[in-house]
Amino acid sequence: MTEETFEIVLTVNGVHRAARAPARRLLSDLLRHDLGLTGTHVGCEHGVCGCCTVLLDGEPVRSCLMFAVTASGRAVTTVEGLAGPDGRMSPVQQAFQDCHGLQCGFCTPGFLCTITAFLRDTPRPTDEEILEAVSGNLCRCTGYQNILRSVRRASDLMEES
Amino acid sequence: MKPPPFAYTAPRTVDAALEALAEPGAKVLAGGQSLIPLLNMRLAAPARLVDINGVAGLGALEATAAGVRAGALVRHAAAGRSEGAARVQPLLRRAVRHVAHPAVRNRGTVVGSLAHADPAAELPAVLAVLGGAVEAASVRGRRTIPAGAFFAGPLEPALAPDELAVSAFFPAAPPRSGSAFAETSRRHGDYALAGVAVTVALGADGTVRSARAGYLGVGATPLVLDLTSVAAEGACAAAFARENVDPDGDVHASADYRRHLAGVLTDRALREATAEALAEARLDGPGARDGDGGGGGAA
Ligand SMILES: Cc1cc2nc3c(=O)[nH]c(=O)nc-3n(C[C@H](O)[C@H](O)[C@H](O)COP(=O)(O)OP(=O)(O)OC[C@H]3O[C@@H](n4cnc5c(N)ncnc54)[C@H](O)[C@@H]3O)c2cc1C
Ligand code: FES
Ligand code: FES
């Protein structure tokens, strides 16, 4: 039996992309396997770890809990799309480097996408708001303290610029 | 793991969705935040998914004097953000804050959470304590299912396989009333071990006219207890709750611990809701309610 496939069109990091895939293709797998954007990581595939978080029309979502076909016609931002056009790191990326906010880096793409959207909506967050914002992302290496520091640093960097 | 194959349709209108659901083996896909994990783990294998995300007219969130009506595509995040909804029925925002994490709330829907009928979910307990209702439609017609009849069992809503839940209705908070939501979970954003939504309404003379508690995590379906006499007589709400819940134990918590939590959380939420009702009664006027509601949502 050959499975029915669907034409899926997305704007990924500002670029028009198209692919054909069965309805059961997860957005995370479409990004990684069909479009070759392996920056989006996949940890648990049931919504718990947050590694696969991307921005859908600017809002953080789990790409492992969405079918690519449902996302068709919409804009997706992945970790590959966070840096400036000249390749300069975004304030959030810069802050993670400055504050040692990553070790193995597996969780980092999900944190970067989540925090990018969070600081856009909440430029000067309280510590409590920061905790709530990153509570849906797991990190097995850092112990989180440097990630929280990175969020505060990113907020400062954004205010300076 | 990856989802098993299924046939897929993405209707644009409610009528087309109902036609598609009339096919045998069809299942609704809303936010996917409960269904897709089940598919990824191969715990579900529906023959056909009817993706309602593109259906027109299901995204409305209406707040009127009577209450809040959420269409099937209202996401948790939108329900939590709405100032209008928070003014009319503050309990909704207080409970939604405890549903999962922000990224899950951006996709998961209020109605989907009711239709999923997880015994540990927040919103079924809220619908139950408020005496709300779900509006269901199929090619056979429309009907309103009151909360008391909607939760038939764990993960078992009173919806026929061909029915679409088109909206849910949460009645407004009456004048001189307060509410509170309290739960305990192992980690922030996890499903709760136990939780409770409490509403308190005072009479014109300031005495307790009605007090109700809706529980999650202590039974197969949301449990509603009438706390009116307990609250009116100043009796021990924690003891009353412990005596009247009958939780199961599992790998997350023993039955005894859940019973203990039900007591502690009932006491806390009843005190908060009563304090708010008293403050409302002092202000004594409709529209005096502040959108953020102050003290809600402990732990
Ligand atoms: C990591 C994680 C943590 C979570 N934590 C919590 C939590 O703490 N508390 C909580 O309450 N929830 C939690 N959830 C679940 C979340 O709230 C879901 O959004 C919700 O349970 C289901 O809504 P949905 O729109 O995603 O439905 P879907 O996943 O699309 O559907 C769920 C079920 O409901 C049916 N259904 C959905 N909509 C309709 C409709 N309109 N008519 C008929 N049937 C319908 C589907 O067929 C399916 O059987 C969590 C999810 C994740 C991934
Ligand atoms: S891979 Fe999506 S949340 Fe873990
Ligand atoms: S840096 Fe290794 S999991 Fe977070």
pLDDT digits (tens, 9 = 90+) for A83-100: 998 999 999 999 999 999
Judged by CB atoms closer than 8 Å, whether chains meet at B37 and A61 is answered as no
Q: Are B117 and B151 in contact (CB under 8 A)?
A: yes
H helices of A99-144, where?
A: 108-121, 127-134
pLDDT, one tens digit per residue, over B256-272 is 999 999 999 999 999 99
Could you state, in order of their start, the residue ranges of all structural domains in chain B?
7-51, 61-171, 177-283
Confidence of residue B1 (pLDDT cuts 50, 70, 90): confident
pLDDT, one tens digit per residue, over B51-76 is 999 999 999 999 999 999 999 999 99
CATH 3.20.20.140 is held by the domain B61-171:
no
Q: Which residues contact B171 (CB under 8 A, 6 or more apart)?
A: B66, B67, B89, B130, B131, B132
Ligand nearest to the CA of A111: 3
The pLDDT value recorded for residue B293 is 41
pLDDT, one tens digit per residue, over A31-65 is 999 999 999 999 999 999 999 999 999 999 999 99
In A, which residues are within 8 Å of B5 by CB distance? 3, 22, 24
pTM for the model stands at: 0.95
Nearest CA, atom 3, ligand 2: A47
Q: Are A55 and A12 in contact (CB under 8 A)?
A: no
CATH architecture of B177-283: 2-Layer Sandwich (3.30)
Q: List the single best residue of A45, A52, A65, A129 to mutate versus B (max B Cβ within 10 A).
A: A65
Say how many C-beta atoms besides its own lie within 10 A of residue A18's C-beta. 11
- B289: pLDDT strictly greater than 80: no
Q: How far apart are CA A88 and CA A90, in angstroms?
A: 6
Confidence of residue B295 (pLDDT cuts 50, 70, 90): very low
pLDDT, one tens digit per residue, over A101-146 is 999 999 999 999 999 999 999 999 999 999 999 999 999 999 999 9
| Domains of chain A, start order | 5-81 (3.10.20.30), 91-160 (1.10.150.120)
Which of A118, A105, A21 lies closest to B8, judged by CA? Answer: A21
Q: Point out the least confidently predicted range of A135-139, B205-209, B222-226, B286-290.
A: B286-290
Which residue in the set B1, B6, B104 is minimally distant from A136, CB to CB? B104
* Phi and psi, residue A135, nearest 5°: -65, -20
Atom of ligand 2 nearest to the CA of A64: 2
Q: How far is CA A28 from CA A74, A104, A110, A135, in A?
A: 15, 20, 12, 21
CA distance B84 to chain A (A): 20
Judged by CB atoms closer than 8 Å, whether chains meet at A132 and B102 is answered as yes
Give me the sign of the Cα torsion angle A45, A46, A51, A55. Answer: positive
CATH 3.30.43.10 is held by the domain B7-51:
yes
pLDDT, one tens digit per residue, over B231-247 is 999 999 999 999 999 99
pLDDT, one tens digit per residue, over B5-58 is 999 999 999 999 999 999 999 999 999 999 999 999 999 999 999 999 999 999
